[in-house]
Amino acid sequence: MKHKLVVIILSVVCCPLSALHAQTPVYLDPSKDIEARVEDALKRMTLAEKIDVIHAQSKFSSAGVKRLGMPDFWTDDGPHGVRPDVLWDEWEQAGQTNDSCVAFPALTCLAATWNPDAAKAYGHALGEEALYRGKGMILGPGVNIYRTPLGGRNFEYMGEDPYLTSQIVVPYVQGLQSCGVASCVKHYCLNNDEEYRHQVNVIISDRALHEIYLPGFEAAVKEGKAWGVMGAYNLYKDEHNCHNQYTLNKILKHDWGFDGVLVSDWGGAHDLDQAVKNGLDMEFGTWTDGLTMGATNAYDNYFLSKQYQKAILEGKYTTKELDEKVRRVLRLFFRTTMNKQRPYGFLCSESHYEVAQRVAAEGIVLLQNEGNVLPIKPQGKKILVVGENAIKMMTVGGGSSSLKAQHEISPLQGLQMRLGAPIDYARGYVGDVSGNYNGVSTGQDLKDDRSPEVLIAEAVEKAKTADYVIIFGGLNKSDYQDCEGHDRKTMDLPYNQDKLITAIAAVNKNTIYVNISGNAVSMPWRKQVPAIVQGWFLGSEAGIGLADVLLGKINPSGHLPFTWYENLGQVGAHSFGEAAFPGIWREGKKVIDEEYKEGIYVGYRWTDKHKLKPTFAFGHGLSYTTFKVSNLKALGTVTADGNMTFMVDVTNTGSIEGSDVVQLYITDVKSSVDRPAKELKAFQKVTLKPGETKSVTLKTDKRALSFWDEASENWKAEPGDFIAQAGDASDRLTCKAKFTLK
């Protein structure tokens, strides 16, 4: 056989050195600081590459710069766990098998711990889960203020008080970002109702804005060093908060020095010129269904996409604004995806479940315990559990924070696990039995066709012979309850629960009601039920956390992060008619004007001002032991920079170890402006053995003595006398000390 010689000629194309340099990954020189690397990368990028990094390319990702070795940037919803992945351009599930997660307790529960250390552990565990899933940013936490108990998204926020919110959000952000995952604090700002969130234009005084609604965001940015902030859907001064010259350009970026990325909420951008000029850095979600709405690839039609590029080429804009946006995005890349020192991530680890369980138990609030019905003494006792919320999975649903949890232990399961035996159960009521959200299913079949009368009769009959009855009721994550997109229509419990609770309490003196919700509910039967517990949405370890508290394995130490009103008549936002909530449509019905007429008087500030007695006060929380807070002293005088130190004694006067939250409130005795009767300015959680006393040091700064002066547009502390009061609830302040600012 003859062999043919085949000659293959390879053509080699020589690249100029400049082209090779342009493709060199920008992280090769770790000695350069981030700002130098940002400027280096910015100079190498083409106009098209700059445009690509400032808008989404899929539901949850934006493009990197492949030519420079920068990977795509992936975000995902939080704030209670890493949301399961969806398809590239659809909201349906991607069908992955490695995107189950640990579901952490809702942020109302985290705030109820009053424990910054718990918040840091929470953020760090969430960051490790996000890292494992390849996420560069978690869309959370939420720090909007609890203005009304009808707010559908209150369960994702941290309560009514700006100081408490600030103290919890900072360690959360620090814990999350220590993993090299950006926190995107939301929803900035004034996002306090859901029903018409795209149309609501908030009218508010500058003072109320700065004293009540901004401090949580300010702390996250200035102290937590958050790398991302998400703009809210609503409007302020007739501009949407995803491109608002006042809230973004002036306050966030200029006044606070925010150097991170302002991300639009999904679909929150509305105008090219405002998006260019008014502070928006990364646009997500407009025309999110790119397959059917307007174009085959809707992402190219985003305001900050092709039309922005075209406008630059036509000379309508220079690249000044674009380069500033890209600098911020590059800074985000170098802090996250381009950070070669990022640690490894973990998913569903034992330590994460430990954090979830710890936060769940520590945030549970013992609201009422007449006759010391709790803790349950189970030996030889017959326990009856009643209610759909004892068995219903709560990690699925509620909007964007819906999760695909690896497991969720229900309250009934938790009690059975801790007692090692079956427990009698009665359904009591039937609520939402769907169990599906966004392609994730609980797998539960909760269908029950029996009438409310039959269900109540069965529960009452069983309650007659039980030693303890534990009713698990409250809300769920269905529309018009605790859920994104809608506000509640009433404070009342749904599904005939009031009738159920009243009927059971009439036949059993050891009735315990556990409320599962992120919001306060009306309790017309409260004086008939000896023990009431606030159980929140507790995530994967819900049942264990609840069982440990109910059985006394863990002494409850949670305190309310919001005022639990008797009814809507006690709520400032509901005291001025529909103009204050939910607002009034303008002529033409394109915008709703909602005026915050209660001003700075939100929550306990309002009930103090009008001498109202709510069901449970802000900061309230009982224990299985008792505490005494005494001997408050102001140590020295206020320093030149406005700092002040106090010391107060806390004594465990009961028979078991427990933890109490010492709270310090400040009153300005005489002021040139109207000020609240008192305001929370310091707190500390302290653990004590029986009979033990600890001296707790509490520190305040000049901001604690100040109000927002609208004339000077700054914080102002006026010389004069102040009173500090200490206790363990806003209505249980047992000692005081006077001091003077000279």
DSSP output for 26-90? TTS-TTS-HHHHHHHHHHH--HHHHHHTTBBSSSSEE--BGGGTBPPEEEEE-SSSPPPPB-TTS
Asked whether residue 281 falls in the same domain as residue 160, the answer is yes
Amino acid (one-letter) located at 25: P
C-alpha to C-alpha distance for 74 and 80, rounded to whole angstroms: 18
Q: Establish if 9 belongs to a structural domain.
A: no
Which residues have a Cβ under 8 Å from the Cβ of 520 and sit 6 or more positions away?
149, 491, 562, 563, 564, 565, 615
Asked whether residue 527 falls in the same domain as residue 426, the answer is yes
The CATH number assigned to the domain holding 420 equals: 3.40.50.1700
Q: For the chain, which residues score pLDDT lower than 50?
A: 1-22, 27-28, 290-291
Question: How many alpha carbons lie under 13 Å from residue 681 in its C-beta half-sphere?
Answer: 29
Asked whether residue 330 falls in the same domain as residue 439, the answer is no
pLDDT at res. 20 = 37
Last residue of a domain, one of 502, 536, 554: 554
pLDDT at res. 2 = 41
Asked whether residue 327 falls in the same domain as residue 372, the answer is no
Asked whether residue 500 falls in the same domain as residue 628, the answer is no
Asked whether residue 439 falls in the same domain as residue 531, the answer is yes
Asked whether residue 328 falls in the same domain as residue 459, the answer is no
The count of structural domains within the chain is: 3
pLDDT at res. 92 = 85
Q: How far is CA 645 from the centre of its chain?
A: 30
pLDDT at res. 638 = 83
Q: Establish if 83 belongs to a structural domain.
A: yes
Q: Establish if 173 belongs to a structural domain.
A: yes
Which residue range(s) make up the domain with 399?
364-554
C-alpha to C-alpha distance for 62 and 601, rounded to whole angstroms: 41
Last residue of a domain, one of 554, 577, 598: 554
* Helix ranges restricted to H, 149-205: 162-177
pLDDT at res. 576 = 97
Q: Establish if 86 belongs to a structural domain.
A: yes
Q: Find residue 709's DSSP bridge partners.
A: 714
pLDDT at res. 292 = 53
pLDDT at res. 8 = 33
Asked whether residue 677 falls in the same domain as residue 719, the answer is yes
Asked whether residue 500 falls in the same domain as residue 639, the answer is no
pLDDT at res. 293 = 56
Q: 250 in helix, strand or coil?
A: helix
pLDDT at res. 721 = 95
Beta strands in 335-447 (DSSP E): 365-369, 383-386, 424-426, 436-437, 440-441
How many beta carbons lie within 10 A of that of residue 66, not counting itself? Answer: 12
Asked whether residue 81 falls in the same domain as residue 140, the answer is yes
The CATH number assigned to the domain holding 708 equals: 2.60.40.10
C-alpha to C-alpha distance for 21 and 207, rounded to whole angstroms: 53
The CATH number assigned to the domain holding 132 equals: 3.20.20.300
pLDDT at res. 639 = 82
- CA nearest neighbour of 81 among 39, 139, 163, 26: 139
Residues annotated as part of the active site: 265
Q: Establish if 6 belongs to a structural domain.
A: no
- Interaxial angle between packed helices 320-335 and 34-44, expressed in degrees from 0 to 180 and rounded to the nearest 10: 130
- CA nearest neighbour of 190 among 199, 201, 181, 174: 201
What's the pTM value of the predicted model, to 2 decimals?
0.94
Asked whether residue 150 falls in the same domain as residue 299, the answer is yes
Asked whether residue 171 falls in the same domain as residue 83, the answer is yes
Q: Establish if 74 belongs to a structural domain.
A: yes
Q: 359 in helix, strand or coil?
A: helix
Which residues have a Cβ under 8 Å from the Cβ of 21 and sit 6 or more positions away?
44
Q: Establish if 349 belongs to a structural domain.
A: no
Q: Establish if 7 belongs to a structural domain.
A: no
